[in-house]
Copies of this chain bind each other. A is one copy, B any other.
Amino acid sequence: MIKAGIVGGTGYTGVELLRILSAHPGVSVDVITSRSEEGIPVADMFPSLRGHLDLAYTVPDVEKLAQCDVVFFATPHGVAMNMSPELIERGVKVIDLGADFRIKDVALWESWYNHEHTCPDLVAKAVYGLPEMNREAIRGAQLIGCAGCYPTAAQLGYLPLLEKQLVDHRRLIADCKSGVSGAGRGASIGTLLCETSESVKAYGVPGHRHLPEIRQGLTQLAGRPVGLTFVPHLMPMIRGIHTTLYSVLRDPVDPGLQQLFEERYANEPFVDVMPAGSCPETRSVKGPISAVSAYIVHRMMIRLWYWR
């Protein structure tokens, strides 16, 4: 039985992780932390877990977390980097669902996140947590910086095309549509129902923090720097991301894009290449029929699509 801890258990990422882990036969969640909710049973806050989880929030404490086999950080950037060094040193596996270990270029990270990084050496060791790109490395890693939400969608969509140099890497466009949960469970006027329902808008157009992360991944896939336009949009719904990717094919693809994607993702449990001609709906991946128990590093399932 793997002993797991979760730092930051009151946000949407943390509770989703909890939902998956609490149903996982090989995992016991032993610690879940929240400074503000100390002593409160998790099931009081999330009644859907009543009867499934007998655990209360505690204040984050490295000593207690160090007794876990694995600790997940479901926290805003800046938290994981403070607690990870000691956990790593004591042999705990650390999986950060936040942004602290995603970007290899520490100066770049600091400029986008407006924050000094306190453990650049760990950044160098961290494995980028996108299994379709890094499965083997993830398997053995002690520190994993999970892919962001938009970056997951954009990278998985371009991956088969860039790996084989099939598209013009200088002209990539990712038009991304996200539900509101991506903004997190913090009190904010901008994500009130009255401000986001029955409306659509683009945001972060001059520059969104996921831009350097996507660019890093696509550059790695293409083997050279890519040109990317990334426009995130806010959708009037709770959950899901739909990404429409545009690019220019260099040559006709033989034997075809559909087959290219199907073959590349044939053995990927988190990617489902839809049949030619179909258009995926985000609702199809909202309530997965089987708990995604094997891979907890992924925060969402992605379906890819394309058209001629």
Contact = CB atoms under 8 A, between A and B. Distances in A.
B286 A198 contact: yes
B193 A191 contact: yes
A189 interface: yes
B47 A274 contact: yes
Indicate the member of A49, A278, A284 with the most B CB atoms within 10 Å.
A284
A180 B197 CA distance: 11
Contacts of A179: 194
A50 B271 CA distance: 11
Interface in A258-308: 272, 274-275, 277-290, 303, 305, 307-308
A303 B51 CA distance: 13
A238 B187 contact: no
B187 A187 contact: yes
A289 B23 contact: yes
18 contacts: A46-B284, A48-B287, A49-B289, A171-B248, A175-B244, A177-B233, A180-B192, A185-B192, A188-B192, A191-B192, A193-B238, A198-B237, A199-B282, A201-B280, A202-B244, A202-B279, A205-B279, A206-B277
